[in-house]
Amino acid sequence: MISIVNYEGPAKVFWEYRSLAGPFFKSNVRNGFALWVAPRSEFPSHEAFQQALASVPLVDESAGSVRRLEFGDVSGLVALEYDLMELRP
């Protein structure tokens, strides 16, 4: 599993969590994770798994209010487009 932690400091109120209609809204929080499940026998060591994971392309791009994520290659690809203003895929 890969998890991206954006903030580990003391508790605070982020601008991004304010109401969409509020005067202080700047944009949505960008956070995510990828989960890769495979038989333990597929990788002889933790290092082998890390090398395989590092070789898999991860695309994270935004155009306007739409964010596109892709994880994978020719052997398998997972993709998601998410509208950051509508808060839905």
- Report the pLDDT value the prediction gives residue 30, as an integer from 0 to 100: 60
The more confidently predicted of residues 42 and 26 is 42
The answer, as to whether pTM is greater than 0.75, is: no
Question: What's the CA gap between 32 and 45, in Å, rounded?
Answer: 26
Read off the pLDDT of residues 1-14 as tens digits, 9 standing for 90 and up: 444 555 677 776 65
- 51 has pLDDT over 80: yes
Read off the pLDDT of residues 67-84 as tens digits, 9 standing for 90 and up: 888 888 878 888 888 887
